[in-house]
Structure 1
Amino acid sequence: MDFLRPTTLDEALALKAERPGAVPIAGGTDVMVELNFDHRRPEALLDLTGVAELAEWSTSDGQVRLGAGVPYTRVITELGDVLPGLAMASRTVGSPQIRNRGTVGGNLGAASPAGDTHPVLLATGARVEVASVRGGRTIAAEAFYTGVKRNALEPDELITAVHLPPASGAEQFAKVGTRNAMVIAVCSFAVVLRPGYAGVALGSAAPVPRRAAEAERFLVAELPWQTPVPLADSLKRAFAELVAGAADPIDDVRGSAAYRRHALGVLARRALTWAWDDYRNNGGERQCA
Structure 2
Amino acid sequence: MEFLRPASLAGALAAKAANPGAVPLAGGTDVMVELNFDHRRPEALLDLGRVPELHEHGTDGGRIRIGAAVPYSRIITELGTKLPGLAMAARTVGSPQIRNRGSVGGNLGAASPAGDSHPALLAADAEVEIASVRGTRIVAAKDFYVGVKKNVLAPDELITAVLLAPASGPQQFSKIGTRNAMVIAVAAFGLALHPAEKRVGTGVGSAAPTPRRAFDAEEFLAAELDWDAPKPIADSVKRRFGDLVAAAASPIDDVRGSAAYRRHALGVMARRTLTWAWTEYCGGSAKCA
Q: Verify same fold: TM over 0.5.
A: yes
| Counterpart residue type for residue 233 of structure 2 | L
User: In 1, distance between residues paired with 2:52 and 2:64?
Assistant: 18
Residue of 216, 219, 225 corresponding to 2:221: 219
Superposed displacement of residue 282, structure 1: 7.5
Corresponding residue of 2:76:
76
Superposed displacement of residue 36, structure 1: 1.2
Change over 3 Å in CA distance of 1:244–1:123 after alignment to 2:
same
Corresponding residue of 1:287:
none
Corresponding residue of 1:4:
4
User: In 1, distance between residues paired with 2:280 and 2:67?
Assistant: 28
Corresponding residue of 1:270:
272
Summarize deviations over 1:171-215 as a string: whole Å, max 9, x none. 000000000000000000001001101001100000000000000
Structure 2 stretches of 5 or more lacking a match? none
Corresponding residue of 2:255:
253
Corresponding residue of 2:18:
18
Corresponding residue of 2:181:
181
- Written as runs of structure 1 = structure 2, the 5 A alignment for 1:234-249 is 234-249=236-251
User: In 2, distance between residues paired with 1:53 and 1:269?
Assistant: 39
Superposed displacement of residue 34, structure 1: 0.9
| Counterpart residue type for residue 235 of structure 2 | D
User: In 2, distance between residues paired with 1:281 and 1:235?
Assistant: 20
**TM-score for both structures, normalised by structure 1:** 0.97
| Counterpart residue type for residue 242 of structure 1 | L
User: In 2, distance between residues paired with 1:278 and 1:165?
Assistant: 19
User: In 1, distance between residues paired with 2:24 and 2:155?
Assistant: 11
| Counterpart residue type for residue 178 of structure 1 | T
- Written as runs of structure 1 = structure 2, the 5 A alignment for 1:142-161 is 142-161=142-161
Q: 2:96 matched to 1:106?
A: no
Corresponding residue of 2:208:
206
Summarize deviations over 1:231-270 as a string: whole Å, max 9, x none. 1111100100001111100000000000000000110000
- Which 4+ runs in 1 deviate beyond 4 A? none
**TM-score for both structures, normalised by structure 2:** 0.97
Aligned pairs, how many? Answer: 283
User: In 1, distance between residues paired with 2:144 and 2:284?
Assistant: 33
Structure 1 vs Structure 2 CA RMSD: 1.0
Structure 1 stretches of 5 or more lacking a match? 284-289
What secondary structure is seen at the aligned counterpart in 2 of 1:281? coil
What secondary structure is seen at the aligned counterpart in 2 of 1:181? coil
| Counterpart residue type for residue 9 of structure 1 | L
